[in-house]
A = this chain, B = another copy of it.
Amino acid sequence: MAGMKLTKSPLAPETTPILPQIAGVEFAVGSNGFYGNRNDVFIARFEQPASAAGVFTRSSTCSADVDWCREALSAGQGEASALVVNAGNSNAFTGAAGVAKNNATIAAVTQLNNSKSSSVFLAATGVIGEPLEPEFIADKVREIWPKLGTASLNDAGEAFMTTDTFPKASTASASIDGVEVQIGGIAKGSGMIMPNMATMLGYVFTDANLSPSVCQALLARYTDSTFNCITVDGDTSTSDTFMLFATRKVGPLIEDVNDERIADFSVAFHKVMHDLAIQIVRDGEGATKLVDITVTGAASVSSAKIIATSIANSPLVKTALAASDANWGRIVMAVGKTDQPVNRDALSISFGDVEVARNGMRVPDYSEDAASKACQAQEISIRVDVGVGDAQAQVWTCDLTHGYVDINGAYRT
């Protein structure tokens, strides 16, 4: 499955944070052997009904698991009893066989847990289009169910990696009405990354007592500025899923997302989402540079985002950055191709603190050396003003290197 040994991204954080124990949820991990001996499946089980919310890929060829999660969230009104996630096979484009596999998995959980189908959530990531036997995951669930409570959230975060070179984890605590609550999040993703409502797979758990509607409102509030602002290759996965689970064990019941008692929690949750999203870019396949692109002076926020994304996805921009080349002409090109309102003759461009173009031309005192130096950094900020309005947007991406070509010639998605 994993066609090659991947070395850890040079952009990886130095250490993985140790995630807190979240009251009211326990984990088990196991291996189906898709990646040698390492774990490639995890279960989360909630002690009492947890609040669940999710955002999912907008792909019209989404996986059976995404179909199911949407259906379950709606049918069960955001009540969760368990989550089963496997790597190695995405169960996308598997037709009736994919639905049969899901039904068998859900049946296994409801029998073990004495819970409703609609409270069981699923996700899968890996090869597209290869149906598994119906009981394949169900058998594994039955095998590792007795081990619930023996694994940590960090263990779960390692068990759904595919081409990831490091596990993505983030944590924060917050005070709700004077009571401290915990937040722990995990995510996976490395290629096929241009989420459209979510990332590859990401889960945040909290022990706070949030209603399902508050969970959904928090996701809606922060997804656009975090997971929907990252791109590795402009390719949108069939399995993108990001979910928030609140075990409701700690603190007062919150039923309104605008309740001022969760102001602190909201900030902390946003930070965790942002952190996980950026970690995915840091693990972009073959990435050697983390690039943030801010477009200002646009006609609207959506226009600013389209332009920033065009720059972020341009193979010519990305290969230049890989070579530490401050090739701002390609940024001009990527702005121009978007069909968005821009004023060519008012355009300005900076790399870090180095302004290279102003009013539609190279700056008079342009220094190739200074611009190149700004592009040699491992983290590069590009700022483009398109000179037509007041709106802005920021997008994060990475460079395009030989590593990307290697990984994607060798790995069967």
Contacts and interface: CB of A to CB of B under 8 A. Distances in A.
Contact of A236 (B96, B322, B337): B337
B92 A332 contact: yes
A332 B128 contact: yes
Contacts of A319: 404-405, 408-409
Contact of A402 (B316, B330, B342, B402): B402
The oligomer's copy count stands at: 2
A60 B332 CA distance: 9
Contacts of A224: none
- From A92, A234, A329, A357, residue with most partner B Cβ within 10 Å: A329
Contacts of A345: 95
Dominant SS among interface residues on chain A: loop
Interface in A315-351: 315-316, 319-320, 322-323, 325, 327-330, 332-342, 344-345, 347
Given A60-B335, A131-B361, A401-B405, A412 B325 contact: yes
A97 to B, nearest CB: 7
Nearest to A400: B405
A144 interface: no
A335 B93 CA distance: 12
Contacts of A320: 408-409, 413
B361 A316 contact: no
A354 interface: no
A65 B342 CA distance: 19
Contact of A405 (B192, B361, B405, B412): B405
13 contacts: A57-B336, A60-B339, A60-B344, A61-B332, A93-B361, A94-B361, A94-B362, A129-B332, A238-B332, A315-B404, A315-B408, A319-B408, A405-B405
Given A128-B329, A329-B413, 16 more contacts: A59-B336, A59-B337, A60-B336, A61-B333, A61-B347, A94-B362, A128-B332, A129-B357, A233-B314, A235-B337, A236-B336, A236-B337, A319-B405, A327-B413, A329-B412, A400-B405
